[in-house]
Structure 1
Amino acid sequence: MNLSTDLKHRVVTAFQRYVANPVTRRLPLQTVLETTGRVSGLPRATPVGGRRVGDSFWLVSEYGERSQYVRNIRANPRVRVRIRGRWHPGTARLLPDDDPRARLRSLPRMNSTAVRVFGAELLTVRVDLDG
Structure 2
Amino acid sequence: MSDFVDRKYRAVTAFQRRMNPVLRRLPLQTVLETTGRVSGLPRQTPVGGRRVGNSFWLVSEYGERSQYVRNIQANPRVQVRILGRWHTGTAHLLPDDDPRARLKQLPRMNGMAVRALGAQLLTVRVDLDG
Q: What SS is found at the alignment partner of 2:92? A: strand
Structure 1 match to 2:10: 10
Equivalent position of 1:103 in the other structure:
102
Letter in 1 for 2:12: V
Matched, 1:45 2:44: yes
Distance 1:86 1:125 in 2: 20
Cα deviation, 1:75-121, whole Å, max 9, x if unaligned, reads: 00000000000000000000000000000000000000000000000
Counterpart AA for 2:92: R
Q: Secondary structure at the match of 1:73?
A: helix
Task: Output the CA distance in 1 between the equivalents of 2:111 and 2:45.
Answer: 16
Return the TM-score normalized by structure 1.
0.99
Gaps of 5+ in 2: none
Cα deviation for residue 20 of structure 1 reads 1.2
**In 2: Cα distance, 1:88 partner to 1:111 partner:** 21
Query: Which residue in the other structure is 1:88 paired with?
Result: 87
1:28 aligns with 2:27: yes
Counterparts of 1:114 and 1:24 in 2: how far apart (Å)?
15
**CA deviation digits over 1:1-48, x for unaligned, max 9?**
10010000011001101x210110000000000000000000000000
User: Partner letter of residue 32 of structure 2?
Assistant: L
| Separation (CA, whole Å) in 2 of partners of 1:40 and 1:112 | 31
RMSD: 0.3
